[in-house]
Structure 1
């Protein structure tokens, strides 16, 4: 019979050191709030019930933490009296009688399912408490895990550790699993006889051992247990997350010329045989199909790039951009909420917004779809195999038919039928010799101004 499990997510901190206007667990990693990463790992570990212990920005935190496949309850921690006190804020949920209680933190977004499953396995083997720890070459500042004959004897804070204990490199990661049948009684026995007068969850190890129970530690990679207290640590976690995600994509068949310069979002989906050049940024909601090339210095968000398409260099795809197979959006182009048909080309210095561009159509340099009238957005419809000459402005709502040609420098305000040629520019006038007259006039005026200033 499968064991039931309740995960308690501690997310009530005031985030003082973040110096932020919002709870630190709402700060994004890979474009997604930290606590949402934690919740995803819990779901991957098969945990279907979670209790959130909330404080600052409780409603906002609860909103981003909820998942369809998981029952989530919330509890407000009104006092800050230590981690054991925070866990007891969810005492009503613990009392529901789960086999396992898993305690995690909302600011450890790099945790994966593997250590959580290992901790639960330790409970299934008959232990009362399982602490998730890590090995490190720099243990200073961490509580040490005191292990004897495979049993976890205590968690010793550095200030209380002996010289020999300080040499221990097996450190406390903060996350732990507790036997659900004993959790409340064990936590309620934790005292606050310490300098801060707080109730520390780490004391549960000695409480369990004193009651004749057993405690063990399981190891996780140090990076998975990285917590966040300030903006510098936030950047460090982001860097680790980005390295992990880049590696996953490259192993799956994505080529990155300079991976350390590519920045991904939590939901970036890139198929195999895609090439990504240096200095590319992916915001949320981007999908890249096989064989596409994303050239250097491009920025994509909320966009779909079809198979074999090319983007950039120096291109921007905004939300709603949908590039068909073998299409091209070139340098210094911006596409927003627009369909670019198969084989169509938007080569350079162009803005295409709120538009439909047909297959194999060519959009000349400097073309603009004038989609905004100051109040509302309007649609530009361009058919297949059309040609839009350079430096043209298409004033929406307007349509250009299949095979039509728009002359360079045109301002198009009326629909253009299929296979028609449209001119929308002023008539050119030539005045022979006039340039020489004007040049002489301008030079004389400049000389006069210079003479006046000298006097």
Structure 2
């Protein structure tokens, strides 16, 4: 197999996006478009990747990191001008170079691989990735001769009546013999209305030299979408969402309403998981078998254990064990660890805390900066008072403790194993193991007082 290289065009600002964020950094299902492109093209075993950057260069470099080399296109003078910026890194190398646009996030590694293999099998100097467009208006047309060979690419605005009827379009992705590419680029002129150097001119230059130019027609037209505005961005999001959801369903995941379920590319979901409508699962989340998520739950960078149920809740950067019940309307904030068989009920917030196996926080409570043992019952309205306005402090609740309703545990404090906290208590001192702690003012009843008050009002 020949050496393989890639040039990713990511220098444009994308004025039609009408955004301060550079076009290729706009996310599709949570991942920048250019990252999708890089991930897919690298899957075909490349020897080197060069990304052409311009607007937002530092941000693009930051996102892609060491996965690519970078070359700056200081002035955006066309696609041919962009590619020639990579000359110092690639021009003397033998092999095949693929040129891809950083705003085409839907093209799959299979399509890239098929393009490479077609190019190398045909021994072409250039191969154009083409597609049959249901409505080719606005696209450059691929014109073939009577032998079905590629003759040239004609832009829509320059096409005659017969050429406008052609449905085969140029997708803007190409494979080239690497040395032939940079030789041809030296001959590209900017003698056109835009005053730019077009990569498409390389095709005509090679044809004039009787070099072989071929085309690979991808059967997946929707993959080739180039994102130039927010409408196309939404279309790309929808297509990517459908692709990912269908893959999970084929792998044994039940998605009740795929149109309203959003799963990011890096998420791992095991068999027999059920996802209800409105579920949004992002980052590097892992959902283990038989879990049930939703409706209307958000899971970000979490590990969710087997047979766990999360209803109408939010969980972020946390680990939730097996057979856990969460929600409805619970909030699992970062750095929480929920043990097997635990329960986190409605309107409960847990942050940077461990909840042990079998423990329950069933309603209307805040557990923050706490170590909660196993088989602990935390009553309704309990708060771990962890913040004094400057520092955060730890609350420790040991195994088998029972925390009565409306208790305040003022950290730093420890509630010993098997202890009871009476309802309505404010605990400021450690509670020994096996103790009952009551910390509330003594009740005093003034008999008849309320009746006298009412009678005064009548007078």
TM-score by length of 2: 0.88
Q: Are 2:376 and 1:393 aligned?
A: no
Q: Aligned in 2, Cα 1:198/1:58: closer, same or farther, shift over 3 Å?
A: same
Instruction: Select between 310-319 and 155-164 the one with higher mean Cα deviation.
Output: 310-319
Q: What residue is the counterpart of 2:422 in the other structure?
A: 407
Q: Aligned in 2, Cα 1:165/1:18: closer, same or farther, shift over 3 Å?
A: same
Q: What residue is the counterpart of 2:292 in the other structure?
A: 293
Q: What residue is the counterpart of 2:164 in the other structure?
A: 166
Report the number of matched residues.
440
Instruction: Select between 311-320 and 177-186 the one with higher mean Cα deviation.
Output: 311-320
SS in 1 for 2:262: coil
Residue segments in structure 1 that go unaligned for 5+ positions in a row: 445-455
Q: Are 2:103 and 1:88 aligned?
A: no
Aligned pairs for 1:217-296 within 5 A: 217-220=215-218, 221-296=220-295
Task: Give a deviation string over 1:396-419, Cα, whole Å, max 9, x none.
Answer: 333333333333333333333333
Q: What residue is the counterpart of 2:30 in the other structure?
A: 31
Instruction: Select between 312-321 and 82-91 the one with higher mean Cα deviation.
Output: 312-321
Task: Give a deviation string over 1:351-399, Cα, whole Å, max 9, x none.
Answer: 3333333333333333333333322333333333333333333333333
Is contact 1:30–1:242 with CA below 8 Å preserved after alignment? yes
Residue segments in structure 2 that go unaligned for 5+ positions in a row: 311-326
After superposition, the CA RMSD in angstroms is: 2.3
Question: By how many angstroms is 1:441 displaced?
Answer: 4.9
Q: Aligned in 2, Cα 1:29/1:334: closer, same or farther, shift over 3 Å?
A: farther
Q: Are 2:162 and 1:147 aligned?
A: no
Is contact 1:309–1:323 with CA below 8 Å preserved after alignment? no
Aligned pairs for 1:324-339 within 5 A: 324-339=339-354
Task: Give a deviation string over 1:292-331, Cα, whole Å, max 9, x none.
Answer: 2223222222332222222233333332233333333333
- Cα distance in 1 between the residues matched to 2:92 and 2:433: 70
Aligned pairs for 1:20-419 within 5 A: 20-67=19-66, 70=67, 72-125=68-121, 126-148=123-145, 149-220=147-218, 221-311=220-310, 312-419=327-434
SS in 2 for 1:290: coil
Q: Aligned in 2, Cα 1:373/1:292: closer, same or farther, shift over 3 Å?
A: farther
- Cα distance in 2 between the residues matched to 1:396 and 1:65: 43
Is contact 2:54–2:76 with CA below 8 Å preserved after alignment? no
TM-score by length of 1: 0.89
- Cα distance in 1 between the residues matched to 2:242 and 2:424: 47
SS in 1 for 2:83: helix
Is contact 1:302–1:320 with CA below 8 Å preserved after alignment? no
- Cα distance in 2 between the residues matched to 1:274 and 1:365: 31
Is contact 1:328–1:344 with CA below 8 Å preserved after alignment? yes
Q: Aligned in 2, Cα 1:351/1:197: closer, same or farther, shift over 3 Å?
A: same
Is contact 1:310–1:328 with CA below 8 Å preserved after alignment? no
Q: Aligned in 2, Cα 1:356/1:160: closer, same or farther, shift over 3 Å?
A: same
- Cα distance in 2 between the residues matched to 1:310 and 1:442: 54
Is contact 1:357–1:384 with CA below 8 Å preserved after alignment? yes
Is contact 1:143–1:156 with CA below 8 Å preserved after alignment? yes
- Cα distance in 1 between the residues matched to 2:202 and 2:106: 25
Instruction: Select between 312-321 and 192-201 the one with higher mean Cα deviation.
Output: 312-321
- Cα distance in 2 between the residues matched to 1:214 and 1:36: 32
SS in 1 for 2:201: helix
Question: By how many angstroms is 1:439 displaced?
Answer: 4.1
SS in 2 for 1:181: helix
- Cα distance in 2 between the residues matched to 1:410 and 1:303: 34
SS in 2 for 1:330: strand
- Cα distance in 2 between the residues matched to 1:435 and 1:223: 75
Q: Aligned in 2, Cα 1:357/1:410: closer, same or farther, shift over 3 Å?
A: same
